[in-house]
Every structure is written in structure tokens, then in C-alpha cells.
């Protein structure tokens, strides 16, 4: 998927009457097709200009846009969604706490739109994702194709039924399903010894029920909640962003012992 990024910085002007900067236009970010002219309310940037090298400043009317090549995260943030996805702050913690790396084999259950699976596929050797809904699986496959990922499989299946899941020697298994405790037999079956089970639960009582149901060969290492608070920082403001939603979910980390 060949795309380009156009970034427009905020444009301001000083108004003496009120003794402060006034914003004339806000920050904008556009993922654009370089084979087509870019049309905006400010004017048009031609496809000829979009073919210029990264870092070039292009003009549309009075506004200036920086032309950049997109990286993975730019493309990732444009994925089509069918449901709420796992937040980036939680993905980062899952990767760091389980040590997912380029030789890891990872599996998840509760594909949704495939966002988590796609992000992990960009880091790991291979990714397998299960969902009971074929429509979600189809959307996830499209998202993976759009990102150019070839090392991720999306399968229709029910992880509550361990006998139907064939994977083995999985390094990390993520359960993003309503009743994770019903998938613990699957976790025992597919994880290698020393592998990690991560249980993603919006409600703490779901985490508790899963932890209480763990078999003896599964060690509960920790249950955490990751808080992230963005700040507004400029000449006039230095405060937390009041629109932040700090809680997303609880992450429970479990290790298979034998």
C-alpha cells in the first residue's frame, strides 16, 4: 500500500488587542494516495508535488504541508475497526513483560479487527489469531494485507473448546475474550513450558475469576493496570489533557511452569 503523509502544523497570529496568539488553523495529518491530487478546503496539492522527496514543504493556499514517508505506526492507526481495540500503551506493556521478539510465536483469541495481531506480527516471527466471528476474521485479513504483513494467520475458531485448537509451543498467548477462565485448557495445551499467558479484561472481577481458576501448573505473576496521561504543553498551557481516558483494561500475566 503506497501512501504518503501530509502534516500541517498549526498556523497562528498574534493579536495585540488581546495580547495573545490566536490559532487560525489546527494541526492536521493526512494519509494520502500519491497517485492522485490531494484536495482540501485550503486548495489542491498535485500528485506531481506528492512525488517529491520526504521533507519537502508543499503549499495548498496559505497552508504549508510537510511531505513524509509513512512508517508502520502511521499505517497502523488507519486500520478499519469493528470493535474497541487494545490500546497502544497496553500493547507496549504486553511486549515488554513477555519479551516478544523476532523469533517469538504468538497467538491471540478475540481477533476483533486484528489490530493487536497486526502490531505483534510486525515484531514477532509468526502470529495466529482466533475469533468465533468470520466477519471479523475477514476484516482482520484485509487489515493485515493493507499493512503488507505476511506472517499472520486469522482463523475462525472457539478457544473455549480446547480440542478444536491445534497450535502448540506458543511463546505468548493473549486472551481478549469475555470469559477467559473458559479458555484455560486451551492455554495449557498451546503454550510451551515457560510461555506466557496474558489475560486482557476490562473489569477486575473478570481478572479475579480467571486467576482463581488457574491450574496448578500456571503461575500468576501479576495483574496490573497501565495509566497514561497526556499533557498539553505550549507557551500558554501546562496541564493534563482533560479528555484523557486513563483506564482501558487490566492485564494479568501468567507463566506456564510444566
Tell me if 150 sits within 8 A of 124, measured CB to CB: no
193: its cell numbers: 513450558
Checking if the pLDDT of 123 tops 60, the result is yes
- Residue 210: other Cβ atoms inside 10 A: 25
Burial of 3 (0-12, 13-18, 19+ CB in 10 A): middle
pLDDT at 239: 87
Lowest mean pLDDT among 82-86, 128-132, 135-139, 205-209: 82-86
Residue 234: which pLDDT band, with cuts at 50, 70 and 90?
Answer: confident
Q: Could you give the CA distance from residue 55 to residue 68 in angstroms, rounded to a whole number?
A: 6
User: What is the spatial distance between Cα 81 and Cα 129, in angstroms, rounded to a whole number?
Assistant: 16
What is the pLDDT, as a whole number, of residue 244? 63
Write the pLDDT tens digit of every residue in 129-184. 999 999 999 999 999 999 999 999 999 999 999 999 999 999 999 999 999 999 99
Q: According to the model, what pLDDT value does residue 245 have?
A: 64
The pTM score is 0.87
Mean pLDDT for the stretch of residues 194-198: 98
Amino acid at each position: 500500500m503506497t501512501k504518503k503523509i501530509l502534516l500541517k502544523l498549526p498556523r497562528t497570529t498574534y493579536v495585540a488587542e488581546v495580547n495573545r496568539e490566536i490559532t487560525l488553523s489546527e494541526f492536521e495529518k493526512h494519509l494520502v494516495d500519491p497517485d492522485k491530487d490531494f484536495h482540501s478546503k485550503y486548495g489542491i496539492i498535485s500528485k506531481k508535488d506528492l512525488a517529491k522527496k520526504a521533507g519537502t514543504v508543499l503549499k495548498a493556499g496559505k497552508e504549508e504541508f510537510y511531505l513524509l514517508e509513512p512508517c508502520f505506526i502511521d499505517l497502523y492507526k488507519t486500520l478499519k475497526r469493528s470493535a474497541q481495540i487494545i490500546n497502544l500503551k497496553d500493547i507496549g506493556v504486553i511486549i515488554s513483560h513477555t519479551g516478544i521478539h523476532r523469533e517469538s510465536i504468538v497467538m491471540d483469541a478475540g481477533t476483533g479487527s486484528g489490530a493487536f495481531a497486526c502490531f505483534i506480527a510486525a515484531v514477532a516471527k509468526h502470529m495466529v489469531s482466533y475469533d468465533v466471528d468470520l466477519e471479523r476474521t475477514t476484516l482482520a485479513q484485509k487489515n493485515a494485507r493493507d499493512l503488507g504483513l505476511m506472517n499472520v494467520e486469522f482463523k475462525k475458531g472457539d478457544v473455549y473448546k480446547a480440542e478444536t485448537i491445534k497450535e502448540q509451543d506458543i511463546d505468548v498467548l493473549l486472551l481478549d475474550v469475555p470469559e477467559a477462565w473458559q479458555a484455560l485448557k486451551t492455554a495449557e495445551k498451546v503454550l510451551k513450558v515457560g510461555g506466557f499467558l496474558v489475560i486482557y479484561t476490562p473489569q477486575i472481577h473478570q481478572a479475579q475469576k480467571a486467576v482463581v481458576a488457574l491450574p496448578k501448573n500456571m503461575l500468576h505473576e501479576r495483574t496490573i493496570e497501565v495509566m497514561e496521561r497526556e499533557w498539553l504543553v505550549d507557551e500558554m498551557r501546562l496541564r493534563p489533557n482533560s479528555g484523557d481516558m486513563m483506564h482501558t483494561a487490566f492485564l494479568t500475566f501468567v507463566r506456564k511452569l510444566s
